Amino acid sequence: MESKLEALECHFTWKLNPIKFRDELEDLVSNSTSSWMGHVYNLLGFVYYQLDLKDEALRNFNEAKDTFCRLRNNDDEGPWLVVNYGNLAWLYHKLGKEAEAQRYLSKIDDLMSEHPPPEVYAEKAWNLMKYGKTQKLLAMYYFNKAIKMQPDRVEWQTSRVVNLVNISKDLGEVISADLWEEIREAKERDPASVYLAAYDLIRRAKTGEDIKDEARKLARTIFDKPLTKYSGIEPLQSLFKDHLSIDDLINVAEEALERHPEARFNKRCTANFYKTKIYHTDNNSPKVINRSISLHLEVIRLYPETSWKKEIYLAGIYAKTNQQEKAKQKFEELLQKAADQNHEGKQMLYYYYARYLYFTQKEREESTRYYMEAARIPHKSFYRDQSIKVLEKIQHQNKHPLCEEVTRFLAELPTLD
């Protein structure tokens, strides 16, 4: 039994830790009718298993099975169920129900030929693309295998291009001309994808086209129903920030919140729009400042397990809006909790705290030490890279009191791949 289970392609053998995606997945199942919903339930079921909530795990695995069948026009069984049946076999084995586990192993044998079907490769790729650069590159390999075996699956091709965009962002690269062309072609294949539509409008805006009316229309389409991670919010925000106005996007988001007052992901996105406005605009009105703060406090309450970034942003909002006592208190509170965070969470805090010390408190030496703290952590991230850039400037400032110390620090700092 154990050797058969270990040979399966499913979440129990892929060695991924998806607990951090719990909030995202719960938002998706409450709001979305995406073609990936079966995969969402599968992954959420595994999250609940890792949290030792086995009844919830079983419920979600069964929901995944029902969703796959419904999306396949109620076809009873097919290769799209291989991963799901693998999850069920593992879960029943863990529950001590060996007969049920064997039943699903037999079902998998009936569905599989010698090699995994393309649906298995596509689902594995969809899971991998949620992680870091190495996993995203591996996701490309599996997407390519799946698409080569079944090239007519538009949603696989769309997700492959989205993954390429994310790899480019992870590498800190500007989207290349070839990738922009892939985005354009993918959008033509999948005109219903609002994510691709937003990126295609960015592409056209960069060539000088007037896309303002289309952008506003797309925003209204996206906000017409409760938002999810798949709604294309990230490229839409970039589109409005760079080529229209963040105020326009805030207006659309506020109107959507009136229609969907309980949609917590809408609140999360709207809070982010206000944060962008405050961080990039001076002399904001008291109404904007108060709304931004109230939304951040609400989102922190709604996402207690994944609110670290929002708490750091809130501290920054206090600092940017001359509420220095609150900013200081919030940063001190976060520094006390930093030990519980992962590498990137610590780096983000140290980076923003260093900026706060430099720009608001005018404490150059202490600020420099926190940039060093962010850089010292052996994890490649935006916050580490930006901290190193600041330190590289400091080492050439002969009048800086820590110039020599920073020079030695950078010389000894290991390079990360």
Residues 6+ apart with CB under 8 A from 10: 82, 83, 84, 86, 87, 89, 90
What's the pTM value of the predicted model, to 2 decimals? 0.90
Residue 11's domain spans which residues? Answer: 1-112
Res 292 pLDDT > 80: yes
Length of the chain: 417
CA gap 317, 290 in Å, rounded: 10
Mean pLDDT of the region 301-326: 95
pLDDT at 30: 77
Establish if 201 belongs to a structural domain. no
Establish if 414 belongs to a structural domain. no
Establish if 214 belongs to a structural domain. no
Average model confidence (pLDDT) for the chain?
A: 93
SS3 216: helix
Give 10's DSSP letter: S
Establish if 285 belongs to a structural domain. no
What total number of domains does the chain contain?
1
Q: Residue 9 is part of a domain; what is its CATH number?
A: 1.25.40.10
The tens digit of pLDDT for each residue in 66-116 reads: 998 888 776 678 889 999 999 999 999 999 999 999 999 999 998 887 678
Establish if 2 belongs to a structural domain. yes
Mean pLDDT check: name the lowest of 92-96, 231-235, 369-373: 231-235
Indicate the helix (H) or strand (E) that contains 249: helix 246-259
Establish if 36 belongs to a structural domain. yes
Establish if 241 belongs to a structural domain. no
The tens digit of pLDDT for each residue in 23-78 reads: 999 998 876 667 789 999 999 999 999 999 999 999 999 999 999 888 877 667 88
CA gap 238, 165 in Å, rounded: 14
Confidence of residue 223 (pLDDT cuts 50, 70, 90): very high
Mean pLDDT of the region 215-229: 91
Cβ(271)–Cβ(292) below 8 Å: yes
Cβ(209)–Cβ(171) below 8 Å: no
